[in-house]
Structure 1
Amino acid sequence: MRPDTDTPRVSVLMAVYNNAAYLPAAIESILGQSFADFEFLIVDDGSTDGSGAIIDGYAARDPRIRAIHQNNRGFIASLNHMLGEARGELIGRMDGDDRCTPDRIERQIAFLDAHPDYGVVGTQTCYFDDTGREWPMARAYPLDDAAFRVALATPYTPLMNHASVLMRAELVAQVGGYRPQFRYCEDLDLWLRLSRVTKLANLPDALTYYRQHPGQVSDRNLAVQTAWAAMAWISDEQRKAGERDTLGAIDPLPGLDGLGAVDAITGRPGDSQRVRASVIERIEYPTSALAGPGFRVLIDYIGAGGRLPKGWHMVARLVQARRWRHAARLATALLRETM
């Protein structure tokens, strides 16, 4: 955190890459906050759709905005860049295609001021789409630290909306910020590390709105995101056991075609199959995911001796979807393992 004699209470961080269609609404929802003592850092990460000009236009009208332009470096590098520039004692997050209620930051600050033992607070979230339709989450985020830790120990249980959080800057710095190798699951990896030094919670009300639109990263990269999330949990297990965090020490992490190396990296037999099993659990439905990049993980899992109780059901779904080649390959792998 950069020292300054005129430090704002909050630094809001927004990384932008080609969000021009949604960016004005996102920026205005922060500028319209009832709590005004903040700086608003916005990184234009090499956008090609005019996002940079939109950011500059708002920065010219509101001195709280600090525009940062750079060649495309990626989401995590952009966040760490802003962490290095941030002056506030509290770090807020916002995404360039979302929006939030005017009292969001005010209510989060009130919570942190009233609970000094908590270092991170998020909010519940509503989903919305380009048609204006809104709908609530199917399952609420955990409200207090005890519930958060139960959820954290249960893979793929909703924890918090990354773009909704307000965090104590000194704690984020203490755990080292975002780790670039945990791409697509950088928030989970951060929550795991922060949970070792502070308490985490979510407010009970939906103060942020998460836009659903085609082509989101979480949709396009589900299999690799799941693999690296599983590695984040293994990394956390190593730290809790007092072992060397071997996965946290390498960059990049193994990709979908290299998951067999996880055992050698961690020195713990079975970790490779654990990661593969996590991917299979997530890609099982729908068929488009089953026949996507994670299909190789499925075949490797069976080849390494993994049991697949629903294997023939998967074959049937692939046949119904006319994914003949995938169905034949999976059937062959299943038959080979029974011989």
Structure 2
Amino acid sequence: MARVRLSVITPVFNCARFIEFCLENVMRQECPEVEHVIVDGGSTDGTVAIIERYAALHDHIRYVSERDEGQSHAMNKGIAMARGEIVGFLNADDYYEPGALREVLTQWDGLPEPSLLVGNCNVWDDDGKLWFVSRPAGISLNNLLLGRYVEAFPMNPAAYFYHKSLHLRVGPYRVEEHAAMDLHFIFRAVQHAHVTYRDRTWGNYRYLEGTKTYEGDKCGANQARVRQITEQYRRQQPALRRIQLVLLEKFGRLFRKPAGVPEIH
């Protein structure tokens, strides 16, 4: 087996409907420098049997199955297991574009450590139709603090990758956070990593009815959580900067975002 450069980490719990497609999707990348780390939370729906079958046949697949404290805990366990210097997260119901991982590794050459490499992500609705393409070309702390999430926040981790060593600076994913762990991570990452955006589509995100993101949006819980987190990071700024942010936000409300494009999930 070639030296592992990139560890794709999939946290999963009772996702037999999608896990085989996920495993096949990473395999079809035909990238020998990639390993696939599966962190199962003790599934009871047949997920583990599928993982075991594939792991027995393919040595790039490594897995653990045991009860955990939720998705963030599973993500941290995956990072601890990762052999690659680069990590990326692929949820079981999401997938990569053909050749995405080979392209990411090519793009990685020459990037300083720690780096965060961000691309575009297709967002599919529950009917399998392309809703929009997330293009976070404006990813920066300033835009995140201003709530410009359409241009600044990567909608799904299938479209970004980073040095594992970044966690030495930003800490692990917050185990107590079960819905917005990725938003917390991005807020911290842009302050400590060398951020590079590429106008290339690498990921596909299925926005499915019944998932915690969909249900959180439906009841308004996600929007409230995002506002709370944004305000938390604003409070960490110097007083003068906080005043500037308030003024810039009020001015920005004069301009409306394009119709039909969600702020954040």
The TM tier, using the shorter chain, reads 0.7 to 0.9
How does 1:89-108 map onto structure 2 within 5 Å? Answer: 89-108=85-104
Following TM superposition, by how much is the alpha carbon of 1:168 offset from its aligned partner in structure 2, in angstroms?
Answer: 0.6
Structure having the higher strand fraction is 2
> What residue identity is the alignment partner of 1:155?
G
* CA distance in structure 2 between the partners assigned to 1:227 and 1:136 by the alignment: 23
* 3-state SS, counterpart of residue 182 of structure 1: coil
How does 1:258-277 map onto structure 2 within 5 Å? Answer: none
* CA distance in structure 2 between the partners assigned to 1:70 and 1:112 by the alignment: 33
Following TM superposition, by how much is the alpha carbon of 1:136 offset from its aligned partner in structure 2, in angstroms?
Answer: 5.0
Following TM superposition, by how much is the alpha carbon of 1:104 offset from its aligned partner in structure 2, in angstroms?
Answer: 1.0
Contact 1:182–1:229 (8 Å) recurs in 2: no
Per chain length, whose mean CA-contact separation is higher, i.e. which structure has more relative contact order (CA < 8 Å, sep 6+)? 2
* CA distance in structure 1 between the partners assigned to 2:158 and 2:202 by the alignment: 11
Alignment correspondent of 2:115 = 119
Alignment correspondent of 1:22 = 18
> What residue identity is the alignment partner of 1:198?
A
- Size of the aligned set, in residue pairs, is 233
Following TM superposition, by how much is the alpha carbon of 1:112 offset from its aligned partner in structure 2, in angstroms?
Answer: 2.5
Alignment correspondent of 1:154 = 146
Alignment correspondent of 1:301 = none
Q: Which runs of 5+ in 1 are unaligned?
A: 1-5, 243-339
CA RMSD of aligned residues (A): 2.5
> Which stretch has the larger CA shift, 74-83 or 222-231?
222-231
* 3-state SS, counterpart of residue 35 of structure 1: coil
Identity level (%): 24
1:141 aligns with 2:130: no
* CA distance in structure 2 between the partners assigned to 1:214 and 1:90 by the alignment: 31
Alignment correspondent of 1:177 = 172
1:198-233: CA deviations, max 9, x gaps? 233443232221123210111222333333333322
CA separation of 1:136 and 1:228: change in aligned 2, threshold 3 A? closer
> What residue identity is the alignment partner of 2:145?
A
1:80-103: CA deviations, max 9, x gaps? 111122121101110101111231
- 1:11 corresponds to which of 7, 10, 31: 7
1:280-307: CA deviations, max 9, x gaps? xxxxxxxxxxxxxxxxxxxxxxxxxxxx
Contact 1:189–1:229 (8 Å) recurs in 2: no
> What residue identity is the alignment partner of 1:217?
K
How does 1:237-252 map onto structure 2 within 5 Å? Answer: 237-241=234-238
Alignment correspondent of 1:73 = 69
Alignment correspondent of 1:200 = 195
Contact 2:121–2:202 (8 Å) recurs in 1: yes
1:51 aligns with 2:47: yes
TM-score by length of 2: 0.79
1:84-140: CA deviations, max 9, x gaps? 221211011101011112311122222232432771123212233676x341516x4
Following TM superposition, by how much is the alpha carbon of 1:191 offset from its aligned partner in structure 2, in angstroms?
Answer: 0.7
Q: Which runs of 5+ in 2 are unaligned?
A: 240-265
CA separation of 1:130 and 1:99: change in aligned 2, threshold 3 A? same
Following TM superposition, by how much is the alpha carbon of 1:46 offset from its aligned partner in structure 2, in angstroms?
Answer: 1.9
* CA distance in structure 2 between the partners assigned to 1:165 and 1:196 by the alignment: 16
* 3-state SS, counterpart of residue 221 of structure 1: helix
* CA distance in structure 2 between the partners assigned to 1:172 and 1:111 by the alignment: 21
- 2:213 corresponds to which of 218, 236, 239: 218
TM-score by length of 1: 0.63
Following TM superposition, by how much is the alpha carbon of 1:79 offset from its aligned partner in structure 2, in angstroms?
Answer: 0.2
Alignment correspondent of 1:61 = 57
* CA distance in structure 2 between the partners assigned to 1:97 and 1:39 by the alignment: 18
* 3-state SS, counterpart of residue 139 of structure 2: helix
Alignment correspondent of 2:259 = none
* CA distance in structure 1 between the partners assigned to 2:148 and 2:49 by the alignment: 38
- Which stretches of structure 1, 4 residues or more, deviate above 6 A after TM superposition? none
